Copies of this chain bind each other. A is one copy, B any other.
Amino acid sequence: MEPTVAPPAVTFEINPTDYQHWKLTVDGHVATLAMDVREDAGLRPHDYKLKLNSYDLGVDIELADILQRLRFEHPEVHAVVLTSLKPRIFCAGANIFMLGSSSHAFKVNFCKFTNETRLGMEDMSANSGIKFLAAVNGICAGGGYELALACDEILLVDDGSASVGLPETPLLGVLPGTGGLTRVVDKRKVRRDLADDFSTLTEGVRGKRAVEGRFVDAVFPTSKFQEGVARRAQELAAKSDRPASGPGITLGPLSPSVDGDTIQYKYVKGAIDRAKRTCELTVSAPDSPQPASADAYVAAGDSSWAVRAFREFDDALLRLRLNEPEIGTVIVRAVGDPEAVIAVDQVLHDDAAHWAVREITGLIRRTLKRMDLTSRSFFALIEPGNAFAGTLFELVLAADRAYMIDHPDEPNSIRLSVMNGGAYPMSNGLTRLQVRFLGEPDSIDKALTHDGPFDAQAALEAGLVFSAPDDIDWDDEVRMAIEARAAFSPDALTGMEANLRFAGPETMETKIFGRLTAWQNWIFQRPNAVGEKGALMTYGREGRPTFDFKRT
């Protein structure tokens, strides 16, 4: 039953000159980001047309790239107006024919990426001082409304036709899976009965009714819409603490070299072993002097290690997710001089309030979250010569397990920095150390205030690594752990890791990935959605869906 169209290998880097679906204009402190999707420029143009500003992964990759550039390249931008260039259409949501013809794994990964991008907008509002205003100038349905929901405020034109809605359940038999249900009741705090009604309407709501239900913040007649949007955008921009002007940090291409199953960036290397279904992902510490201040970071542009290494790591994770579904286990290593990482950390900590440092830390924070949310098993291997220190030690904390060799002759140590104390919260709002030590909170401070590096025994005693075999046992223990992992059901591992990684509180963000996404993934497998007569498959074709009405 599952569609067998192989998705094309996806790359996530894009040059602004190649944008096809979005127009960015900057006017003073306000940027306008307008959606104008090219129908014939989908990732699989023969399978679907991107009508009515519907989107596929390619459209969203552009959006994510633009957001990243706004953060780094445009410090003068304090507010973003999200709108559409199509008449009477804001955005029709994810393209149904794309979804219907995609594999289950692709659907799930597509939704994960789009969720991360929308959460990234909220992260910009909370952490970068860039506010978002949705200027909904036409029909705004499903994923279109979910995009608006990710904005700080939603303004709707009252022209008798423009509407917001979540018609997935009545039209397609699936959920609004890009945070829609969660944001309606948790972010906009719509009453549950109104949300229930809203989520079963095919036509959405318009005008005053949309305001009364809290679905949008305000409506304007057509004649006053542009003025209303402009005024509110200025007000939002005025709240920002971003600098009045640049220079920013221009993000050049990463240009990794790909050779067979190896991808080599400047600081990150990925090497796939298809027989073992593993990928070795190795991060190098800085190998040259790094900026000593926030201003020096701005001057260094995109060449600093912190910016470069984590852009690379992020890109590698995304390629792995989308293009290498059978590679189930990721072996993480860090190599080089740990003191060089600690030195970087000190600058990031000392100049934390500077806009550029804030963005760099944010990039690292979001990349680490991407790792937490990647449904692959991560094993960190800590060997002599490792650079797992401070920020790079977060990779160990994000891993499902860490093995550290306890070698009698070769010194092998790890170290923490001030950055492990709070700079990189997980989606649930806690640091990785806090989650790790939920049952022994004293261990957090003990680890953070520990004097100097930890050798393998000290790391084991401090609870910072899973196992510390000696040099005689090392090869066998690590090999057996990796082999055992590869033999388990990949689905059970996905579910197990999604539960064990996120102990402690839940937030709107984790609810989107935990509660909402898990249900959506379930529905994305049900014959009522993806069967031959399922709602997702029959949409737009002849005939109505046929449901098995048994409730589960």
- Chain A residues proximal to chain B, CB less than 8 Å: 104-105, 108-109, 168-170, 172-175, 181-182, 184-186, 188-197, 199-200, 214, 277, 325-328, 375-376, 399-402, 435-440, 463, 465-466, 484-486, 488-506, 510-511, 514-516, 518-523, 525-526, 528-529, 535, 545, 547-552
Contacts and interface: CB of A to CB of B under 8 A. Distances in A.
B499 A522 contact: no
How many identical subunits does the complex contain?
2
B200 A485 contact: yes
Nearest to A485: B200
Contacts of A182: 499
A310 to B, nearest CB: 23
Contacts of A526: 489, 491, 525
A105 B437 CA distance: 37
A500 B438 CA distance: 29
A301 to B, nearest CB: 36
Contacts of A498: 515, 519
A69 to B, nearest CB: 30
A437 B194 CA distance: 12
8 contacts: A181-B496, A181-B500, A192-B400, A196-B401, A197-B401, A376-B551, A498-B515, A505-B505
Given A196-B401, A552-B490, A503 B189 contact: yes
Contacts of A170: 484, 488
Contacts of A501: 192
A72 to B, nearest CB: 31
B549 A328 contact: yes
Nearest to A194: B466
Contacts of A522: 491, 495, 518, 521-522, 525
A522 B519 CA distance: 8
Contacts of A493: 169, 551
Given A192-B500, A486-B549, A494-B552, 15 more contacts: A105-B550, A186-B438, A191-B463, A197-B401, A199-B496, A277-B549, A325-B551, A489-B545, A489-B547, A490-B528, A490-B551, A492-B535, A506-B506, A518-B521, A525-B525
Contacts of A193: 399-402, 436, 465-466
B189 A439 contact: yes
Contacts of A190: 439
Contact of A438 (B185, B438, B503, B514): B185
Nearest to A551: B490
Contact of A436 (B174, B192, B399, B465): B192
Contacts of A188: 439
B326 A169 contact: no
Contacts of A197: 401, 466
Among A169, A376, A440, A503, chain B packs the most CB atoms within 10 A around the CB of A503
Contacts of A439: 188-191, 214
A180 B220 CA distance: 52
Contacts of A494: 519, 551-552
Among A109, A172, A400, A489, chain B packs the most CB atoms within 10 A around the CB of A489
A12 B496 CA distance: 31
Contact of A551 (B189, B326, B503, B516): B326
Nearest to A514: B515
Contacts of A511: 506, 514
Nearest to A402: B193
A178 B503 CA distance: 16
Contacts of A175: 492, 495-496, 499
Contact of A169 (B168, B496, B520): B496
Given A506-B511, A515-B514, A195 B500 contact: yes
Nearest to A548: B490
Contacts of A465: 193
